Structures are given as structure tokens and as C-alpha cells.
Homo-oligomer: A and B are copies of this chain.
């Protein structure tokens, strides 16, 4: 099994979620994060002081999937999260040793 972690633009969350559901993904976990990268941040001004803010709000999606879905999920996320402008984000893929569904105790692919 794989754990796919995607960093995307916040306003793309609904689109990505819907696209994943369509290809049969049944669960995911979402975190509010701040990203730093090629996309430059912005300036803020408070009472005469200027601050350069390097971190941009992003959303991190984590999805555990059976190995055979890997390519499909990557493609789907890529398509749904893409705006073509800088800061669209990244997808990272890790191996998952095992997965457990707490409620039932099921493990392995049927637990994702």
C-alpha cells in the first residue's frame, strides 16, 4: 500500500476531493499547512512596519491506497489541482507497511 501526500492550493480542495471520490477513493485526511516554495509570498503592513511573509496557506491531503491505484490517484490529483500558475503544489508517495481500520480491526488493503 501507498500513502500519497499532496500539497495543493486551498480553493482546489473540493475539486480534488470530488475527483478522488469518482475514481473510488473512500477516505482521506486533510490538514491546513503553510507552504514555502517558488511561489513568492506577500507583503503585509502594520502601522508603518512592512513584513515579508514567505509562507502561503496550502492544504495537505493524505490518502492511503492499494498499490494498484497509485498512478490513477497521482494523475487524478494532478489534473484536479492544476491551475498552471506557480504554487500548484507537490505530490509525495511513501510506502505503507500496514494499515488498520480501528473500528473493525481489519488490516491491509481492505482497511484503506
A residues sitting closer than 8 Å to B (CB atoms) are 2-3, 6-8, 17, 26-38, 54-55, 58, 60, 64, 74, 77-78, 81-103, 105, 111-112
A98 closest partner in B (C-beta): B93
Instruction: For the complex formed, measure the closest distance between the CB of A8 and the CB atoms of chain B, giving whole angstroms.
Output: 7
Distance, CA A58 to CA B30, complexed state (A): 9
Instruction: For the complex formed, measure the closest distance between the CB of A52 and the CB atoms of chain B, giving whole angstroms.
Output: 11
Q: Are A8 and B91 in contact (CB under 8 A)?
A: no
Instruction: For the complex formed, measure the closest distance between the CB of A70 and the CB atoms of chain B, giving whole angstroms.
Output: 8
Cβ-neighbour of A30 out of B26, B36, B91, B112 (below 8 A):
B36
Query: Please, could you name 15 A-B residue pairs with CB atoms under 8 Å apart, sorted by A?
Result: A2-B97, A8-B102, A17-B54, A27-B35, A27-B37, A27-B38, A29-B35, A30-B33, A31-B60, A64-B92, A74-B100, A78-B100, A93-B96, A94-B96, A95-B95
